[in-house]
Amino acid sequence: QERTFIAVKPDGVQRGIFPEVLKRFTQRGFKLVGIKLCTANESLLRKHYVDLQEKPFFNSLLSYMTSGPILATVWEGKDVVKQGRAMLGATNPLNSAPGTIRGDFAIDMGRNVIHGSDSVENAKKEISLWFKPEELV
Ligand code: ATP
Ligand code: MG
């Protein structure tokens, strides 16, 4: 079965949006196979966002992602990577359709509440970065 990595970012945890995220993915029919609250360190985030290292916003992304606890989750199910991205909405919340998580709960790109893997390959990479095998059901 396909798996994806979904993380509620520090703003989403702090604002109490994480139960809504769990509810939406569960009600859609996806299976929760891993969950933990954690604080990300810089070295983990540099690996997680390796493709963005050269971007001008990278340092602010690092401070955002280390500003509080993150709810890291892994979900399993049919087409879950693509379906999960659709449930998140566009990167810029101003372009996210109503009904998506970002479209319903965010307006700033720098505080867009949630992360989701963008490909099956990256999902595998991110799951192994954030979780030990024994932490997954
Ligand atoms: P994520 O990987 O967090 O799910 P994404 O795949 O939609 O988001 P990416 O291009 O991977 O978008 O960017 C990662 C994160 O970096 C974005 O979610 C956002 O928080 C931040 N970001 C991306 N582009 C910008 C930008 N132009 N200005 C500020 N922050 C940005
Ligand atoms: Mg991304």
Residues 80-123 have pLDDT tens digits of: 999 999 999 999 999 999 999 999 999 999 999 999 999 999 99
Give, for ligand 1, the residue of 9, 61, 65, 87 to mutate: max count of ligand atoms closer than 8 Å to Cβ.
61
Please give the number of the atom of ligand 1 that sits closest to the Cα of 9. Answer: 3
> Residue 90 and residue 59: Cα distance in Å, rounded?
21
pLDDT score recorded for residue 46:
97
Q: Which amino acid is at 84?
A: G
Write down the pLDDT at residue 5. 99
Contact, 10 vs 67, CB < 8 A? Answer: yes
Complex confidence, ipTM: 0.95
pLDDT for residue 125: 98
Pairing of strands 114-116, 70-76: unpaired
pLDDT range class, residue 129, cuts 50, 70, 90:
very high
Q: pLDDT at position 97, please?
A: 98
Q: Which residues are catalytic?
A: 115
